[in-house]
Structure 1
Amino acid sequence: MKNNRRHFLKKIGMTGVAAAITPMALAEESPSKEFMSRINQLDGDKEIRLALIGAGIMGVQDMQTALMHPNVKINAVCDLYQGRLEDAKKKWGNELFLTKDYKEILKRNDIDAVLIATPDHWHKQISIDALAAGKHVYCEKPMVHSVKEGADVVAAWKKSGKVMLIGSQGVSSLGNEKAKELLASGAIGDIVYAEGFWARHSPEGAWQYNIPNDGNQQTVDWDKFISNTEKKPWDPLRFFRWRNYLDYGTGMSGDLFVHLFSSLHFITDSYGPDKVSAMGGLRYWKDGREVPDILLGTFNYPESEKHPGFNLSLRCNFVDGTSGTTYLKIVGTKGSMDVKWEEVVVKMNGNAGMDEDPFLKEQAKLRGESDTRAKILPPRETVYAAEKKYKGAHYDHFGNFFHAIRTGGTVAEDPVFGLRAAAPALLCNDSYFQDKFIKWDPINMKIV
C-alpha cells in the first residue's frame, strides 16, 4: 500500500491540494504528536465568477470563504428577504446584481458557478435548474430535502457535465484525510463500531435565529418561499427559523448527522447503512418547532468490499452545550480514532503490539506453553494536529471545488456521495416519526 501523501490525495480526488505530515520528536512524551499541514497549489489563473443564492448565515460564510481564494469574484446575490440583499451590497459592493428570483441569476453570462445556501426544500430545484443553465454548483448539505429527490439531482448532474460539490466541509479536512489514511493502513485494525456526537445550546445554535425588525410581508417574498410546498399564511418564525419546520428543514439529522455520515463514509469508503433507526424527543426547546431537540440514531453497515460489517450510533442534542461539537470515534480491532476536522487521536489497545492473536497466546499459556507468551504493551496514543496556520476544512472544500472547475477534475463530495450521506440522515426522520426501522439499499440508493 502506498502511503505517499501526494499519491493518496490524488487518488481520492483532492488534486487541488497536497498535504504534508511533519513529525515532532517527542520520544519521551506521551502521547506522541505529529503536525498535519496543507500545501496549496496555486491554480487561480482562470477567474471564477460566483453568485450566491440564499444569503443567510451559512450562505454569507460560504461566500466569504470562497472569496479568500485567488481570482474568485462575486457578481450576484439572490435572497427572498430584502434586508439580506442590502447587507450583501454593503459587504461586496454596489455593483452586485441583486434579485429575489434565482432564475434571473441563471440567465446571466457573467456567472460561472452558484453557491446554493437556501433552506433545504429549495436545494433540489435550484440545483437542477442551475446545472441545466450550464452553471457549476456548490450546494449546502443536505443535498436534498427528501430521499426521493436524490435521483433527479444525480441525473441532472450527470447530464450537465458540470462540477457539483455538496457542502459537508469536513470531507476536505486534514483530520478526515489523515483518518482515512490511517484506517486504510490498518493502524487500528478492522473497523467494528463507530459513534458520533454533536451538541449545541445557544439560541442561535439551536435554530432560534434572530428575526429582524423589518422582517415582514413587504420585505419578504413569502409566496415564493412556500411555492413548492404546503401553502400557509405569512409566519416570520417559519421563514427566519425555517429549520424548526419539516416543510423547509430536515431536523437535527439533516443539519448535523449528515456531517458525521459524510466524514464516516469518506474515511471508510462506505456506501452507507442498510438499516436505520432513531428515537428522541422535544425536551427543551418547546417553542412550536416540529422536530426533536434530542435525537439518537443507530445504523447497521453491512460487510462490503471496502470494509467489514460494523455498527454506528449517532447522538445530537440542543440542550447540553458543554460536551463539544463535531466528534466521530472509529473503533477497530487494534485501537480507536477520535476524529475531528483538525485533529485525530489514535489510541491503541494494550495488546495491539503482539505479534500473534492474544487469545491464542492465552490458550497456549493455559496449555503450559510458556515460551510463546508475549509481553503485554501498555496503551499507546498518538495525536495528529493541524498546524496553526491551517486555513481549515471550509477553505479547502472550496479549493477542491475551484480546482475541479479549472481543470475539469473531480470533487471529494459529488452528488452520488452527497445522496449516500444525506439519505441515512433523512431516513432518521422517517424512523423517528413513523416509529419503525427503515431499510435502505446503499448501493442502488433506494428505500427497501
Structure 2
Amino acid sequence: MSDTSPQGQNGSPLTRFLRATEIDTRLLGMIGALMLIWFGFHFYGAIFGNGGYFLTPRNLWNLSVQTSSIGIMATGMVLVIVTRNIDLSVGAVLGLTAMIMGILQVNILPQYLGLGHPMIWVITVVVGMIAGTIIGTFQGWLIAYRGIPAFIVTLGGLLVWRGCAFLSAGGRTISPVDPSFALLGGGPYGAVGETGSWIAGILACVGVVWMLHSGRKLRQEHDFKLRPMWAEVFLAVVGCGTIIGAVLLVNAYPWPRGIVNAYATANNITVPPEGLFISHGFAIPVLILVAVGIFMTILMTRTRFGRYVFAIGGNPEAAALAGINTKWMTLKIFALMGMLAGLAGVVASARLNSATNALGVFDELYVIAAAVIGGTSLAGGVGTIYGAILGALVMQSLQTGMVLIGFDTSVQQIVVGSVLVLAVYLDNLYRKTVK
C-alpha cells in the first residue's frame, strides 16, 4: 500500500522524497546546522593556523563525552517544556547530587565496606538518583498541588540546592572518587573498546531494522498508509551507515602512549617498536545517554504516559476534562527530571573525578537551550527526544569549537545566548508556517 494519491505525486522531487520517507524537516535543519558548525570550526582552525583540530577522532570522541550529561537532562527537559513548564534548577540539582555522592563514596562508605569495595559505586549511583528524584518530586508537589508557578519554584530551587551543595561539604572539593565510579565518566578505561563498540554497533543496526519492520507491520495491521519500500530501505541504510560510521570513528581514537605503556607493563605485554594501538571505542557516558534516549523515546511515543504529556501540553484544560490527572502527571514529570539530573550528576562528577561546587553551574541554560534548539516549543505540546539530544550536541559543539579556536569566555556566552534567541525565533516562524 503506497501513496498514489494526487497529493503524493505532486510537488518537487525533494517534497516527494520527504513525504515518502517521512523525514522530519527540523531534523534535517539541525543536522545541517551541526555540519555547518563542525566544518566551519575545522576550516577556520586550518586557515588561521591552529591545525583545524575539530574534525578529528580525538575531538569528536571528547565532544560526545562532554555532551552526555547535558543530553541526559535535555531528554527530561523536553517533557517539562512540552507541558508548558520550565525547570531552572537542574544544574543545581546536578551539583547537589554530585556532592552527596562524593561525600558518600569518599567519606562514609569506605568506613563500613572498606576502600575499593565493588558495591561502593553501585550504592553511590542509586543514592544519587534517589536524591535527585526526591528533590524533583518535592518541586513537582509545590508546582502541582500548591499552585506555585514552575518558574518561581525552580528558580528558588536553583538557589536553595546550590547553597545546600556548598554547605554539605563546607565549600570543599571532594576527591578522588571511587575508581569504579570514575569509569562512568569516560576516559581510556571508561570505554568499551573496539570489540565492545562493534557489538554495540551491530545490535544498534539490528534495532534499526527491527523498528522499521515492526513499524511497517503495525501500519499494515491498522490499514495505515505505508512508506514505499525504497524509502524503508533508504532509512535502514542511512541509519545503519551512521551507526557504522560512529563505530569506525570511536575506534580510530587510540589510547595515549603513556597509558598504553602502563597497561602493557601491568599486563606483561610487549610493546612493538611502532607502538601498540588500543582503541577507546564508545565511552560509557555516551552509551548511558543512548540508553536514556531510547528509554525516553519509548516512554514518550509508545506509552499512555507519553500521550498524556502531549495532551497536557496541547490543552491542559481539555486534558483535565478528559480525565487526565494533570497534577499527578506534573509531579511525576518533575520527579523524572530530578532523577535524570541525578544521573547526569553521576556522569559529570565521574568525568571530573571529583565533586566541586562549580559542577553544574549554568547547565540549566544549556539544557533548556538544547531542548529548544531541538524543536521543543516553549508554547507546549511539541517536542522530541532525539531533537533534544541533537540540540545538546549543537550547543556543546559551539562551546568546544570556540574553546579550540581561542574565543574568550565572554564571547562564548554571547554566542550561546544569541543562538538560544535565534532558536526560539525560528521555532515561532516554523509554527506560523505549519499553521
Calculate the TM-score normalised by the size of structure 2: 0.23
Higher relative contact order (CA 8 A, sep 6+): 2
Calculate the TM-score normalised by the size of structure 1: 0.22
Higher helix share: 2
